Structure 1
Amino acid sequence: MTCDGCARHVEDALRQVPGVEAVQVPGWQSGQAVLSADPDVDESALVQAVAQAGYRAVPAPSEPSAPVQKGEADFDLIVIGTGGGGMAAAIRAAELGFRAAIIEGGTIGGTCVNIGCVPSKTLIRAAAVYHQAGHHRFAGLRTRAEGVDWPALIRQKDELVASLRQGKYVDVLASYSDNVTLIRGWASLKPGNRVVLDDGRVFSAAKIVIATGARPAVLPLPGIDQVDVLTSTTAMSLDKQPQSLIVLGGRAVALELGQAFARLGTQVTILQRSERIIPSYEPEIADTLTEALQAEGIAVHTGVSLQAIRVENGQKVVTAEIGGQTRQFRAEQVLMAVGRTPNTDRLGLEEVGVAVDERGFIQVNDRQQTTNPDIYAVGDVTTRPKLVYVAAAAGGIAATNALTGQSQSLDLAVLPEVIFTDPQVARVGITEAEARARGYNVRTTILPLEYVPRALAARDTRGLVKLVADAGSNRLLGAQVLAAEAGEVIQTAAMAVRFGLQFGFTIDDLTGMLFPYLTQVEGLKLAAQTFEKDVAQLSCCAG
């Protein structure tokens, strides 16, 4: 599944199966459908219904695994991969008193610290500082952006990455050395819970956790074999800054890196297949962000059908169809930011009965268990959301369930997310369209940032807050924020959604709380107040 429409199609298909009483896909990102049905409903009928709808389904294991008896194998738990999910699994095993091995064939630390969150966010912040030096909004201040020393910028980024990799991964593993053994090599799986390394070593395990992550996907465009395109990994390690850049994609990675390069002086063009950038977000958020990016000189094209790519006269040329017309886009570099491909090539999943979806991501149940009950999987290699904090939470749950026989589940009902553009985009809960599709009596409100005192004082009113509520219960169902530091706002909204689910916390409860004046999060209260009041008629701090 790749969108809300996919989730609805799967739900509709399963509801048609005789004996199915209720179906819910808890967000298409989960890769799961949860249903209640009569005991005599055949699993094959469910799988066939999903297949007829154009998707692929695998029944999840119905029973938790038995507790591990220590010492019956070389290791009680073998974890493959040292990213956030793998580290969390190994550490949890050690905390529970079990012996674990963690296997790594590449650089310790996985995606986030090495080639993902950490390097991208420090470059994004650097680009923001440079941009503000030349484009601040305050009178009487004369500042200039006087040039970029690209090698120095990349060197400082690399120093931060190396420091965090050592401090948060290498040294942490060493502190658990009594229970966790680091083994270097590329692993594959064999029947009987055996793990074989590329140098021929073989280890046995009572349970296994796969945490091998994913890598940037590359579209198979005609001509791609002859063109050296950038990915999010290589773009942040260039020897020199490109003068021009075409970005293929219009979601988080594409927009974050595209804006960062543009702010550092690269001419950037974004080509997005969907009719809007970040298409799974509220349209008002996407449209306003598009305007902000365009205001900075970034060319944003949507509804793009990519046709081919080639090199001509030293430039990379992308051929695309937009609105029925064929166009040519030229740049020094092309960044491919179109999603992820799971790192499962070496693992031998089919041989050990681990099922994957149509894109190759490992399917897991809510206990992180694969279709092989002795093998668990966490992080970007699975069908779950590709977020490091989801991976880390899943790693601890997977190790606990695998080793102790518990049935802890990863709860993604309230999942805050942030896109680190400027302004930032943050969301939690469901959108207006999702709420209506689920049958809620929907109320919505939109508050432009020009009504938020913090934004006025900072002279940056780009953005808005959109809230989605259920009219019947007056609960907050979802929130999306487009604002400077929106990521610092969204957790309050996440708590409001969570407490609404658990304790009946309402919009009235939210508006009744005290929020510090001249903070961005005050915009959340002001937005909630607009369900009943005209905020233009409120005095400062007045409820």
Structure 2
Amino acid sequence: MYKEIINLDIIGMTCDHCATGIEKLLSKNEGIKETNVSYTKATCECAYDPSKTSKEEIIKTINGTKNYRVKGEIPENGSGGNNQFNLIIIGGGSAAFSAAIKAESLGLTTLMINGRLDFGGTCVNVGCVPSKNLIRAGEAAYHSTHSNFAGIKPRGVDIDFAQIIKDKKRLVATLQEKKYMNVVSDFENLTMLKGWAKFKDSKTIEVDGKEYKALKFLIATGATTNIPNIEGLDKIDYLTNVSLFDLEEKPESITIMGAGYIGLEIAMAYNRLGVKVRIIEFTDRVLRSQMPDISEALETQMRKEGIEILPNFRAVKFEQKEEEIIIHCKCPDGSFTEIVENGKVVIATGTKPNTHTMGLQNVGLELTKTGHILVNEKMETNLVNIYAVGDVANTPAYVYTAAFEGKIAVENAFSGAENKADYSSLPWVVFTDPQVAGAGLDEAQAEAEGIPFEVSKLELKDVPRAIAANDTRGFIKLIRNTETDKLVGARVVAPEGGELIQQLSMAIKYGITVKELADSFYPYLTLGEGIKLAAITFGKDVSELSCCAS
């Protein structure tokens, strides 16, 4: 008897029982003589009689199941019509594109629906890319008017604000096309759609009156500025980072509501570009999420540069009077005052997840108290076929974590993987000057977790690189477990301090001890040498050591 043998890659198996189930299903076809399905290899070897069945019929049988499909083959229940897909991604940012790239590699028919910002999302359009571009422009202007060396006399700077914004727009457009649209332009299984998606049930969404169905859904709709409910705010022409970064006419001044990382980055960039900046913060200090010594270091530099900071001031009313905006505030002592803003008001009071228009109440998706979609380490929600990633989920809100989550969510949903997100050593940076960077736990977090810890704090005045550069702003702080000597956390406040944090993140992740950090070689007159000195500081006073001593 003549037989043909085919080898297929199977997506969707999660255990050996799945493999057995596929074998039983295929055995019902009398033309199939032998099957061997492997969960661990994600393969199916099938011997069949071509006079009684065909390769296409075998693939159709597998693809006709709810959870399994043949990689690279289009199943009838995945895209048999214009509105049926294996995967529907709701959102168009970094998490969505990462997910789409992984889905294409698995041969999944995918629909990406984006309804807010341009494709590419917050990072490239109104977040990381434009903000860091303007921060660097501000730094160039600042260093043209300020010098750390008595023998160098800056001659000043001529700022063409409109040109800076036009160049920023050009950069955004280039990266949006090059790093997002061009990447997926030749994808055979991806459909991209502009519109707002709303769930009708757990397997169906509606966009502009048309229904679309999928085996799995991935919500990656991101977050947007949280506009506080303050009297009169909706009556003034306020800005957020979305509108501020496109403003080509330089405002005379801005008042920023909020002193989180977004507000602080905006403040330093625009102040250095010649805009008078004021910050109103309702808590007692800037960057309230960090320890007080970090806030103090930032406030000192910002005030030195002429930025007005009003901590413990709470705006209670906004009022437009001709060309002026009157901000009625409650002062720290309980009295009230009126602050006059002749330029623009910028809202930077945190973000909120984009979930309110999606009809999540129709499917019973579980949310946190802050409105984020609740997910576990595998990006799974309480519904088996719906995943959530990025800023819309209760995970760290960074572009690199969003991209990672998009990838593992698709792998977990369709390949039976058990990938988990571990953020215990996650590095992060606030791009002020000096920069603030961190990884792992700070002192308060270590104490809250009951970890026996000790802190070493090295001022940059004791780091040779900083001394030689005449710029000793900031410090390096290490937190170690006193029982194991392993590094559990780090905080850096320093010019370009973000360049140090990846090494410290890796040390935390791989259980490097403080002794090992202290005993390692570091190039002399690098900022990285400060890590060695901070490690030594647990047992010695480095101010009393020779430059090359250890």
> Could you state the TM-score of these two structures normalised by the residue count of structure 1?
0.84
Which residue in 2 is equivalent to 1:17? none
Shift of 1:157: 0.2
Contact 1:67 1:405 in 2 (8 A): no
Q: Which amino acid aligns with 1:246?
A: T
Shift of 1:185: 2.4
For structure 1, list consecutive stretches of 5 or more residues without a partner in the other structure. Answer: 1-65
Which residue in 2 is equivalent to 1:82? 92
Report the secondary structure of 2:185's partner residue: helix
Which residue in 2 is equivalent to 1:55? none
Which residue in 1 is equivalent to 2:43? none
Shift of 1:308: 1.3
Q: Which amino acid aligns with 2:513?
A: T
Q: Percent identity?
A: 39
Q: Which amino acid aligns with 2:530?
A: G
Q: Which amino acid aligns with 1:95?
A: S
Which residue in 1 is equivalent to 2:491? 480
Residues 167-204 of structure 1: CA deviation (Å, up to 9, x unaligned): 010000113x1132222322222215112211x33221
Residues 280-300 of structure 1: CA deviation (Å, up to 9, x unaligned): 212111111111111111111
Which residue in 1 is equivalent to 2:540? 533
Shift of 1:322: 2.4
Shift of 1:213: 0.9
Shift of 1:480: 0.5
Report the secondary structure of 1:359's partner residue: coil
Which residue in 2 is equivalent to 1:128? 139
Does 2:500 match 1:489? yes
Q: Which amino acid aligns with 1:244?
A: S
Which residue in 2 is equivalent to 1:384? 395
Shift of 1:118: 0.1
Shift of 1:243: 1.3
Shift of 1:465: 1.1
Could you tell me how far apart the structure 1 residues matched to 2:466 and 2:505 are? 21
Which residue in 1 is equivalent to 2:531? 524
Report the secondary structure of 2:145's partner residue: helix
Could you tell me how far apart the structure 2 residues matched to 1:535 and 1:67 are? 61
Shift of 1:253: 0.3
Which residue in 2 is equivalent to 1:371? 382
Does 2:188 match 1:188? no
Could you tell me how far apart the structure 1 residues matched to 2:439 and 2:492 are? 9
Contact 2:161 2:273 in 1 (8 A): no
Q: 1:225 aligns with which of 234, 238, 248?
A: 234
Shift of 1:351: 0.5
For residues 339-358 of structure 1, what are the structure 2 equivalents within 5 Å? 339-358=350-369
Q: Which amino acid aligns with 2:277?
A: V
Could you tell me how far apart the structure 2 residues matched to 1:421 and 1:67 are? 48
Could you tell me how far apart the structure 2 residues matched to 1:68 and 1:353 are? 25
Which residue in 2 is equivalent to 1:273? 282
Could you tell me how far apart the structure 2 residues matched to 1:435 and 1:419 are? 21
Could you tell me how far apart the structure 2 residues matched to 1:68 and 1:541 are? 62
Q: 1:197 aligns with which of 178, 199, 207?
A: 207
Could you tell me how far apart the structure 1 residues matched to 2:417 and 2:549 are? 50
- Structure 1 residues 516 and 306: CA distance shift in structure 2, 3 A: same
Residues 356-399 of structure 1: CA deviation (Å, up to 9, x unaligned): 22332211111111122111111111121211111001001111
Could you tell me how far apart the structure 1 residues matched to 2:340 and 2:438 are? 34
Shift of 1:314: 1.3
Shift of 1:145: 2.8
Q: Which moved more, 1:310-319 or 1:484-493?
A: 310-319
Which residue in 2 is equivalent to 1:48? none
Could you tell me how far apart the structure 2 residues matched to 1:80 and 1:535 are? 54
Contact 1:68 1:402 in 2 (8 A): no
For structure 2, list consecutive stretches of 5 or more residues without a partner in the other structure. Answer: 1-65, 79-83
Does 2:263 match 1:263? no
Could you tell me how far apart the structure 1 residues matched to 2:411 and 2:441 are? 30
Contact 2:147 2:153 in 1 (8 A): no
Which residue in 1 is equivalent to 2:101? 91
Which residue in 2 is equivalent to 1:244? 253
Residues 408-433 of structure 1: CA deviation (Å, up to 9, x unaligned): 11111111110000010001111111
Which residue in 2 is equivalent to 1:178? 188
Report the secondary structure of 1:407's partner residue: coil
Which residue in 2 is equivalent to 1:447? 458
Which residue in 2 is equivalent to 1:510? 517
Contact 2:474 2:494 in 1 (8 A): yes
Q: Which amino acid aligns with 2:534?
A: A
Shift of 1:207: 0.2
Contact 1:380 1:386 in 2 (8 A): yes
Shift of 1:404: 2.0
Q: 1:164 aligns with which of 157, 175, 197?
A: 175
Shift of 1:313: 4.1
Could you tell me how far apart the structure 2 residues matched to 1:458 and 1:236 are? 32
Does 2:162 match 1:151? yes
Contact 1:245 1:267 in 2 (8 A): yes
Shift of 1:406: 2.5
Over 6 Å off, 4+ runs: none
Q: 2:318 aligns with which of 280, 296, 309?
A: 309
Residues 298-348 of structure 1: CA deviation (Å, up to 9, x unaligned): 111212222111122411222222222322222211111011122223211
Q: Which amino acid aligns with 1:341?
A: K
Higher RCO (C-alpha under 8 Å, 6+ residues apart): 1
Shift of 1:405: 2.9
Report the secondary structure of 1:134's partner residue: coil
* Structure possessing the higher radius of gyration over alpha carbons: 2
Report the secondary structure of 2:425's partner residue: coil
For residues 47-62 of structure 1, what are the structure 2 equivalents within 5 Å? none
Q: Which amino acid aligns with 2:109?
A: R
Shift of 1:462: 0.9
Could you tell me how far apart the structure 2 residues matched to 1:441 and 1:352 are? 44
